[in-house]
Amino acid sequence: MIVMGIESSCDETGVGIVELRPDGTVTLLADEVASSVDQHVRFGGVVPEIASRAHLEAIVPTMRRALATAGIAKPDVVAATIGPGLAGALLVGSAAAKAYAAAWGVPFYGINHLGSHVAVDALEHGPLPASVALLISGGHTQLLHIRSLGEPIEELGTTVDDAAGEAYDKVARLLGLGYPGGPVLDKLARTGDPRAIAFPRGMTGPRDARHAFSFSGLKTAVARYVEKCERTGEPVPTADVAASFQEAVADVLTMKAVRACTDVGVSTLLLGGGVAANSRVRELAEERCAAAGVELRVPSRRLCTDNGAMVASLGAHLVAAGAQPSPLTVATDPGLSVTVSQP
Ligand code: ATP
Ligand code: MG
Ligand code: FE
């Protein structure tokens, strides 16, 4: 059975196509992404209206490319992100998906974007055992308990303020490094000293919630440090700031994620979302998982950020789990909770 997945929650128009085999395995046939990121650079962040218009222009060509790559005329199922994300952006992708599903006469599945950041891993590493997922993206930072793909997800904890990716983007802007901040800071950090500046580790005090995160204090500490340099006329040591900031983020994320595995009693940790592409997060997660005897699963970098393959993967797992298709009247939900497995 061939499942097409359409992603349009933010600034990436993604169309992925997978095959669900009778034995339940899911393989990737096509993964086409058109990004409008270049159009947002001069604004220093995603402009929702520009993103919606870019989706409108990109959706049909991206879908045609995916069909051509997969070598098929039409899929057996169409799945599309219906939340969470930008309202207008979600509408474009899901309306296109519903229209194609109706025209092709195939079932439609509404997909939770956060669940799909988790489900993408199965494309590369096979069926997912019960695990803890650390979902770290531009809008979310959560520890999740996954029983199996297609089953409801339990949220163990979340950020009380900024998301990890948001912190990256804000700190990059503060250092004048442009947007999006994650990849630039990641690269710059490799040339700096991670021990140069002792930035705070938020939410790690004895009375702080075990599975919650906080990054706004860290962002403020970076701002104060930069201000101090400017006041005293010293040049800002941007590489050291980047490396020390990145160390603080990676330290807290991986410490809490590995600890959550022990708390929940699972031996697999899964990373997902754009920040899972970060080199230090990946490295430190590997070290700490090895030390704790936890198996680590991390998607390849390009599957960490938004794409259509992740939507197709979760769609295929819902079909395999016997979930019913969504009615074509199902609404998009910009604030959809991770705990809703099938909207
Ligand atoms: P959400 O999934 O919460 O709706 P989103 O879809 O915008 O948000 P993703 O596409 O999953 O988020 O990830 C984008 C985020 O990942 C951005 O904040 C970006 O800066 C960050 N990011 C991408 N690559 C890296 C990297 N190498 N290091 C750190 N952060 C990164
Ligand atoms: Mg993006
Ligand atoms: Fe995302």
**Closest Cα to atom 9, ligand 1: which residue?**
274
Q: How many angstroms separate the alpha carbon of residue 305 from the centre of ligand 2?
A: 7
Can you give 167-231 as a three-state secondary structure string?
HHHHHHHHCCCCCCHHHHHHHHHCCCCCCCCCCCCCCCCCCCCCCCECCHHHHHHHHHHHHHHHH
**Closest Cα to atom 19, ligand 1: which residue?**
182
Task: Tell me the CA distances in angstroms from 319 to 26, 217, 224, one per residue in order.
Answer: 11, 43, 51
**Closest Cα to atom 5, ligand 1: which residue?**
138
Residues with CB under 6 A from ligand 1: 9-10, 85, 113, 117, 137-140, 165, 168-169, 180-183, 186, 273-275, 277-278, 305-306
The ligand 1 atom nearest the CA atom of 304: 11
Token pair 């700031």: residue: 241
Mean pLDDT computed over 77-102: 98
The ligand 1 atom nearest the CA atom of 140: 3
Whether 306 has a binding-site annotation, put simply, is: yes
pLDDT above 90 for 44? no
- pLDDT, tens only, 255-312: 999 999 999 999 999 999 999 999 999 999 999 999 999 999 999 999 999 999 999 9
- pLDDT, tens only, 151-181: 899 999 999 999 999 999 999 999 999 888 9
- Name the token pair of 166: 């948001």
Q: How many angstroms separate the alpha carbon of residue 8 from the centre of ligand 3?
A: 9
Ligand found nearest the CA of 163: 1
Is there a cis peptide before residue 75, judged by omega within 30 degrees of 0?
no
- The confidence band for 137, taking pLDDT boundaries of 50, 70 and 90, is very high
pLDDT above 80 for 214? yes
- Identify residues whose C-beta is under 5 A from ligand 3, the ion: 137, 306
Provide, rounded to the nearest whole percent, the portion of the chain with pLDDT above 70.
Answer: 100
What is the pLDDT, as a whole number, of residue 343?
A: 75
pTM: 0.95
What is the pLDDT, as a whole number, of residue 179?
A: 86
Q: Count other Cβ atoms within 10 Å, centred on residue 134.
A: 29
Whether 145 has a binding-site annotation, put simply, is: no
Least confident of 61-65, 150-154, 243-247: 150-154
pLDDT above 80 for 342? no
The ligand 1 atom nearest the CA atom of 11: 7
Reported ipTM exceeds the 0.95 cut: yes
Q: How many angstroms separate the alpha carbon of residue 280 from the centre of ligand 1?
A: 15
Residue 19 CB partners (closer than 8 Å, separation 6+): 1, 2, 3, 26, 27, 29
What is the pLDDT, as a whole number, of residue 120?
A: 98
Largest Cα span, the chain: 68
What is the pLDDT, as a whole number, of residue 341?
A: 81
CB 81, CB 113: distance < 8 Å: yes
**Closest Cα to atom 16, ligand 1: which residue?**
274
Residue 58 CB partners (closer than 8 Å, separation 6+): 13, 34, 36
CB 269, CB 285: distance < 8 Å: yes
What is the pLDDT, as a whole number, of residue 79?
A: 98
